[in-house]
Amino acid sequence: MARVAIIGGHGKIALRLAKTLAERGDDVTSIIRNEAHVEDVSATGAAPVVADVEELDSAGLASVLTGHDAVVWSAGAGGGDPDRTYAVDRDAAIRSMDAAESAGAARYVMVSYFGAGPDHGVPKDNSFYPYAEAKAEADTHLKGTDLDWTILGPSRLTDEQGSGRITVGDNRSASSEVSRDNVALVAAAVLADPSTIRRTIEFGDGDTPVADALG
């Protein structure tokens, strides 16, 4: 049994992931900003903790993460305000990595996106640019830590029912998609698979069972 903290616990992927982890017997804490979401999180089998990661410093985050084996970053500002995008998707994410190291939560899974990185290619006049830059900096920082990290790069997200089957790597088109169900299954699988440590895994819906695709 692993003790897993999910940051951004009311997100669509996070709720699915919490349910999957709880059902397999993991001890799950879902960190949320809004107290109104406590009931939704509790229904997944996770323990809700109300804490604003945008406001907490590294020490405050470390106190929340203490006692956990693993951290999953599944939070996001949701776009719209570039300043808040940088504050959450870059700054708070980086603080959470430093906090995880301080708290002894050595396993860290980042939910990013397919194509993320310093060479993302998004033009500055595109509304997606602040998010692309924020994720590039956060992912780069993670790679420089001593954490046992995995970065997930899912294709365009859908709410289709998950198939449990994916395609990993570059065999995709600009229209490639992946269900949030499948992203949650991948996140759960990498947490239990040490061979995925220090790997960036880009994927979309496909024909290969998740465990086989990751191997």
Distance separating alpha carbons of residues 21 and 5, to the nearest angstrom: 11
- Tell me the two tokens of residue 74: 């599944």
Q: Are 139 and 117 in contact (CB under 8 A)?
A: yes
pTM of the model: 0.95
- Written as one letter, the residue type at 78 is G
Enumerate the domain spans of the chain. 3-214
Beta strand 177-179 pairing with 148-154: unpaired
Q: Are 190 and 196 in contact (CB under 8 A)?
A: yes
Which one of 1.50.10.10, 3.40.50.620, 2.40.128.20, 3.40.50.720 gives the CATH number of domain 3-214? Answer: 3.40.50.720
pLDDT per residue rounded down to tens, the chain (215 residues): 899 999 999 999 999 999 999 999 999 999 999 999 999 999 999 999 999 999 999 999 999 999 999 999 999 988 779 999 999 999 999 999 999 999 999 999 999 999 999 999 999 999 999 999 999 999 999 999 999 999 999 999 999 999 999 999 866 555 689 999 999 999 999 999 999 999 999 999 999 999 999 98
